[in-house]
Amino acid sequence: MNDRIVANQSKSLSENMLAPFLVVISAALVLMGVMVGIVFAQRLDNRLDRFQQAGLSSAAVSPADRLTFTDLESDVATLQIAALIAGGVGLFIVYLGLLYIVWAGWKSTTMRRILLEAANSQLEERVEERVAELREANERLQTEVQQREKAESEVQRSRQRIASAEEGLRKEIAEVLHGKVQTSLLVAWHRLGESVALLDRKPDEAKAAFIEIRDEIDRIREREVREVSHTLHPSVIRVGLLPAVRALLESYESDFSVALSASDEVAKLDDVLDNQIAEPIRLIAYRVLQESISNVQRHAEAEKILVTLGLVEDRQLLISIKDNGKGFKPGTIKYGLGLNSIADRVAIAGGSWSIESSLDAGTTLTVQLPSEQSSNQNEDSSLIETPGPD
């Protein structure tokens, strides 16, 4: 479009310059012809005047002079007529030139108007396009702002849920320490006092009681105190994911039948000497399994659980927890603290998760996690280290 406008403007400019040039050249040629005719007519008229001043007339001169005199008069008349004709033709050409100038001016004005309208239309189209682009960019920006606000709100809710879970877990640990552990220690303390009283009268019986009390205290340390410590942080996770998962499943063997299936790729990646699964990822995977199995224990009424660990593309860790419980209708699931905790942990790791179930057909939870630690996990390490369920 721009090339067309420039070409039309150049053509119009050439025509406007050519018209006056042609008119001036034509007028100059005509004026030169008229001036030449006038000059020659003047010279002939001068010669005729000399004849008359000499006292000559057409009757007094010889036939030869009369012929010359007559020819002079005829030539003068002819030149005067030719000059008039040339002047008229010149005026007519000038008139045509003026008409051409007027026509060229009208054409130029019309062309400029057309070009201006075209340029204005093109400018309006570009303005409309730019306005549409700006509107689209503004809509994208608003969408991004809304998504960011939504994400920030979700992070805030996630932190609140984690804080609530931490507080609940602290309460449970306090109850365990104040209840089971303290009760067991009080019983041992009471028996220890009785044994001390038997030392003088029945030393052998007191010695046997001391041994039993020692074994009881060792049991308290090994089971109850270690259970609380393991709940706070599973130290075995430093060794590897598979040993930690095996220990976790063993703790549920009294509730239902548990089975673990791990691929050779995962076993190779989770090597004790050179573990290539980042420890934060191992801890997230462990907490997800812990929370999921706890949900099965509380709600599913299941008899069997199968945990599968595999590896997919880009060294992504694939975790599956399948039970044979009562299940639920798709779309009726309500997100409680357990599932929200799973969602939060998986989101921090940059992974994904899904849950499938149907009535009387059990439930399958699938989680996919990267095997390497991301920068976001450093920022949200408090969420990774949050203890799981009791």
Looking at every residue in the chain, the average pLDDT score rounds to 76
Percent pLDDT > 90 in the chain is: 14
The predicted structure's pLDDT at residue 381: 47
Give me the amino acid identity at 261. Answer: S
Q: 109-125 burial, b for 16+ CB within 10 Å, e for fewer? A: eeeeeebeeeeeeeeee
State the pLDDT confidence band at 358, using cuts at 50, 70 and 90: confident
pLDDT, greater one: 57 or 286: 286
State the pLDDT confidence band at 385, using cuts at 50, 70 and 90: low
The predicted structure's pLDDT at residue 309: 94
Q: What is the mean pLDDT of residues 63-74?
A: 56
51-66 pLDDT, tens digit per residue, is 566 554 445 545 555 4
Query: Under DSSP, is residue 355 helix (H, G, I), strand (E, B) or coil?
Result: strand
φ and ψ of 304, to 5 deg: -135, 150
Out of 83-87, 115-119, 326-330, give the one with best mean pLDDT: 115-119
Whether residue 142 is predicted with pLDDT greater than 60 in this model: the reply is yes
Task: Let me know: does 119 contact 8? Beta carbons within 8 Å.
Answer: no
The predicted structure's pLDDT at residue 58: 47
Whether residue 76 is predicted with pLDDT greater than 70 in this model: the reply is no
Query: Under DSSP, is residue 322 helix (H, G, I), strand (E, B) or coil?
Result: strand
Q: What is the mean pLDDT of residues 77-104?
A: 73
Q: What is the mean pLDDT of residues 374-380?
A: 52
The predicted structure's pLDDT at residue 5: 47
The predicted structure's pLDDT at residue 18: 58
Residue spans per domain, the chain: 2-137, 159-227, 235-384
The predicted structure's pLDDT at residue 201: 79
The predicted structure's pLDDT at residue 375: 53
Distance CA 252, CA 255 (A): 5
Place of tokens 């702002």: 145
Q: What is the mean pLDDT of residues 364-371?
A: 90
Q: What is the mean pLDDT of residues 181-197?
A: 76
pLDDT, greater one: 110 or 82: 110
Q: What is the mean pLDDT of residues 175-199?
A: 74
223-280 pLDDT, tens digit per residue, is 666 666 666 667 778 888 999 899 888 888 888 899 999 999 999 988 888 888 888 8
Pairing of strands 257-262, 304-312: parallel
The predicted structure's pLDDT at residue 50: 63
Pairing of strands 316-323, 257-262: unpaired
Is the domain 235-384 a CATH 3.40.50.620 member?
no
CA angle 317, 323, 326 (to 5 degrees): 140
The predicted structure's pLDDT at residue 100: 77
Task: Let me know: does 194 contact 229? Beta carbons within 8 Å.
Answer: no
The predicted structure's pLDDT at residue 220: 72
9-46 pLDDT, tens digit per residue, is 555 545 555 556 666 666 666 666 667 666 666 666 66
DSSP letter for each residue of 60-91: TS-HHHHHHHHHHHHHHHHHHHHHHHHHHHHH
φ and ψ of 306, to 5 deg: -120, 120
Whether residue 342 is predicted with pLDDT greater than 80 in this model: the reply is yes
Q: What is the mean pLDDT of residues 103-112?
A: 83
The predicted structure's pLDDT at residue 383: 46
State the pLDDT confidence band at 388, using cuts at 50, 70 and 90: low
| 322: CB partners within 8 A, 6+ apart | 305, 306, 307, 308, 362, 363, 364, 365
